[in-house]
Amino acid sequence: MDLTITSCSHIYDNKVIVNDRIIFYQENIIKFADFAKTVYKQEQIVYPKFYKMDALSKLGFLAVELVLKERKLEGYHPEAVGVVLSNSSSSLDTDIAHNDTIKDRSGYFPSPSVFVYTLPNIVIGEICIRHRIKGESAFLISEAFNGRLLCDYVEELFNNNRVEACLCGWVEVMGDNCHAMVMLVEKNNPPMDGISGLRPMLFNVENMNFIMKRN
């Protein structure tokens, strides 16, 4: 089955690339929270829940928001759209933040709003709520970006008719370091009218690795 990457975002080193176009770049290193907020405002996204999310969810939310701004999910049943993400640190960044609220027994005030993000798949939940996606989902952990793992998993979902479209990629945050690469994969050579800047690419390991590594 031929699968096509129909939209793609790449966020790293204070840079945001959407379908081959750099839409944001900040030369000086800034804190992730400020970076995420700046991109959110620049893109004129209105979703107050964004501010309550942890860093991993903010990054995944922004990456998907930018992908779907270019390529809408119209025409798909909510159950036919999947989300498969991966990273290496799981939710460790937020786990540490949660630990900070409980390590002092004399000031033991765990924050419920931090605790609820101490699982990596919560980012998928946030994306699904935002875009009304109800299909298959998975969050895979690997030491480094593993295009083969992601590709095999997503292809299997398509081959078994579990999805007709799938958001997939890498969403990694640790402290102020972040790296996200999210793509929308569709089948049956979908029409690409109106997509600016993107050269449609076959969904395969080589192209995933190419997108992941390019600057």
Note whether 126 and 60 are within 8 A (CB): yes
Helix (H, G, I), strand (E, B) or coil at 148: helix
Note whether 123 and 171 are within 8 A (CB): yes
Task: CB nearer to another protein: give 93 or 186.
Answer: 93
The interface mask with another protein, positions 123-162, x = CB under 8 A, is: ----------------------------------------
Number of residues that bind another protein (CB under 8 A): 10
Instruction: Single out the residue of 21, 52, 77, 213 in contact with another protein (rule: CB under 8 A).
Output: 52
Q: Rounded to an integer, what distance in angstroms lies between the CA atom of residue 148 and that of residue 65?
A: 25
189 contributes a contact to another protein by CB under 8 A: no
Cα-only R_g, the chain: 17
Task: CB nearer to another protein: give 55 or 81.
Answer: 55
108-127 residues in contact with another protein (CB under 8 A) are 109-113, 116
Q: Rounded to an integer, what distance in angstroms lies between the CA atom of residue 57 and that of residue 94?
A: 10
List contacts with another protein (CB under 8 A).
37, 48, 51-52, 109-113, 116
